[in-house]
Amino acid sequence: MKSRLVFGLIPTLAFACGAGAAEIYNQDGHKLDINGTVAGVHHFRHSGVDKDNSYARFGFMGETQINSQMTGYAQWQYQAQLGQGEKDYGRESVNRLGFVGMKFAEYGSFDYGRNFGVLYDVLALTDRQPELAGDAFGTDNYLSQRGNNLATYRNKGFFGLVDGLDFAVQYQAENLAGKHEKEGRRVQSANGNGYGMSIAYDLGHGISATGAFTSANRTMAQKEQQYGRGGNKANAYAAAIKYDAQKYYLAVMYSQSYNLQRFGEFMPKDKEPEKISGFANKARTLEVVAQYLFDLGLNPSLAYVQTQGYDIEQYGRQNLRQFIDLGVTYNFNKNFLTFIDYQFNMLKRNDFTEKADIKHDNVMAVGLQYQF
């Protein structure tokens, strides 16, 4: 459940500080909060390939009052993988977020850096499972989740004229892959120049709706992939509605994308000649989540996720993800919790899923988490 983390839903604006943030300085218009999370997490797979997915996250959120109308702010978040040896390769620690910007009273805010793409303004509404979240498009995949080179303008309340009406406009500069993996990004996480926008409206009584659109140029290497050739643009449309009141949380999200939904491990053909990888020419995703928070801190969760790829060369329409997620979180207090999350995989094994290395097995995750 990403929303339970102290950094919460970053896209709504950095400085509605997360629950449990530790304020270390607040004087003369200058403020600095630090946040941290340490989680011991283990994944059990029916295939027998278990995984230690423990991690530690640390970051800060700071702001400074420039004058009565202007505020400068910045945020940074780092994650260290705890389930690896000190000399292991391939699971390196990462900078998850890092951006700096300015807020101009009712005229909105502008920031630049590594941030969330505006498509995630919609996807976040159903990305709430205790651990095994949907992650519809994955990170560093254009403007769909966390990414680099993002310039974002956000406005809350439509310049102070319409309560509950928020919108955002975003531009992403290109991040290109190198000739070799160690020289730059891999093909699947590269991007050309792109833009996006989102709009959200609070209808009252706990009901709100959010929509987003993104469009970006594909890189030459992506257009030459084994699957998903051609197509100059990676486009996506998404909409979601949620009900969040009286301890209930219900949300439904639908998205449709073109040349954006990736699959496979993107291995060079000379290394894995039998494997396939690429982008679905068209994909549709449906996510539904329902949760309830009991007074004693128990928070059960039920979700359904399905992504279908269309017009995949030789394979036509294929399910890329389909599962039911049943989880429960128990909050001992605002700083400490435990969870168990079980994902019932509904994918059917076939030639496509085998060659694309799409997992068919059920997964269970258990964990303890401390946050401040």
The 10s digit of each residue's pLDDT in 35-72 is: 999 999 999 988 777 889 999 999 999 999 999 999 99
What pLDDT sits at residue 133?
80
| Placement of tokens 């992650």 in the chain | 135
CA distance 354 to 335: 42
Domain holding 129, by residue range, is 108-371
In a domain, 137, yes or no: yes
User: Number of C-alpha atoms within 13 angstroms, CB side, residue 287?
Assistant: 26
In a domain, 15, yes or no: no
CA distance 306 to 327: 17
CATH of the domain at 275: 2.40.160.10
What pLDDT sits at residue 93?
83
What pLDDT sits at residue 183?
47
305, 336 contact by CB (below 8 A): no
In a domain, 122, yes or no: yes
Q: Give the Cβ contact number of residue 333 at 10 Å.
A: 8
Residue-wise pLDDT tens digits, 295-313: 999 999 999 999 999 988 8
Q: Beta strands of the chain (E only): which ranges? A: 22-27, 30-45, 51-52, 55-65, 70-81, 94-104, 109-116, 146-156, 165-172, 194-204, 207-217, 233-245, 248-258, 262-263, 278-279, 282-292, 298-312, 316-331, 336-345, 363-371
If we measure between CA atoms, which residue out of 350, 151, 127, 358 comes closest to residue 255?
A: 127
Q: Give the Cβ contact number of residue 118 at 10 Å.
A: 28
Q: What is the pTM of this model?
A: 0.89
CA distance 21 to 8: 11
In a domain, 270, yes or no: yes
Q: How many domains does the chain have?
A: 1
In a domain, 75, yes or no: no
Element holding 353 (H helix, E strand): helix 351-355
In a domain, 187, yes or no: yes
Per-residue pLDDT of the chain (372 residues; tens, 9 = 90+): 443 433 334 444 343 334 457 889 999 889 999 999 999 999 998 877 788 999 999 999 999 999 999 999 999 999 999 987 776 655 578 899 999 999 999 999 999 999 999 999 999 999 999 999 867 888 898 999 999 999 999 999 999 999 999 999 999 999 887 554 444 567 888 899 999 999 999 999 999 999 999 999 999 888 888 788 888 999 999 999 999 999 999 999 999 999 999 888 765 555 666 788 889 999 999 999 999 999 999 999 999 999 999 988 888 899 999 999 999 999 999 999 999 999 999 998 899 988 888 888 899 999 999 999
30, 58 contact by CB (below 8 A): no
